């Protein structure tokens, strides 16, 4: 069955960095684009970043452009997002999702808390 498992979340100080990972199984990873979505506490969903199946095309929400970098390793069935220059507004649960018929499979999320 399809599984997506995020990791790498935690508490980090403002201005610091964090790298999140999403390991997938149950489907041919290299056939699918991938996506990161975040959700601040008590708030709605916000698209963060997209990466094509071959890793060449990447796009970002304006709120994270220049600070976040999405990447993937098709040999490891893993997608990453590097979070730099973090602020309190980046505190959220970060989900990875498969791009199929829209976002058809989601992980359970990893919590990032930015606090001093």
Partner 1 sequence: IAMTQSPATLSVSPGERATLSCMAGQSATNNLAWYQQKPGQAPRLLIYGAFIRATGIPVRFSGSGSGPLFTLTINRLQSEDFAVYYCQQYDNWPGTFGQGTKVEIK
Contact 49, 39 (CB under 8 A): no
Question: Long-range contacts of range 62-68, CB-CB < 8 Å, 24 or more positions apart?
Answer: 63/89, 64/90
83 binds partner 1 (CB under 8 A): no
Q: Is 30 helix (H, G, I), strand (E, B) or coil?
A: helix
Q: What is the DSSP pairing of strand 92-100 with strand 110-114?
A: antiparallel
Tokens, residue 88: 């309190």
Residue 48 or 79 having the CB closest to partner 1: 48
60 binds partner 1 (CB under 8 A): yes
111 binds partner 1 (CB under 8 A): no
20 binds partner 1 (CB under 8 A): no
104 binds partner 1 (CB under 8 A): yes
50 binds partner 1 (CB under 8 A): yes
Which residues of this protein are in contact with partner 1, per CB under 8 A? 33, 35, 37, 44-50, 59-61, 95, 99, 101-109
């Amino acid at each position: 069955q399809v599984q997506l498992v995020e990791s790498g979340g935690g508490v980090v100080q403002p201005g610091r960095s964090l790298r999140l990972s999403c390991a997938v199984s149950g489907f041919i990873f290299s056939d699918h684009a991938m996506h990161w979505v975040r959700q601040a506490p008590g708030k709605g969903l916000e698209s963060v970043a997209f990466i094509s199946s071959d890793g060449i095309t990447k796009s970002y929400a304006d709120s994270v452009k220049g600070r976040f970098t999405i990447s993937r390793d098709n040999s490891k069935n893993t997608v990453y997002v590097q979070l730099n220059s973090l602020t309190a507004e980046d505190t959220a649960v970060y989900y990875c999702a498969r791009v199929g018929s829209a976002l058809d499979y989601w992980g359970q999320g990893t919590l990032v808390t930015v606090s001093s």
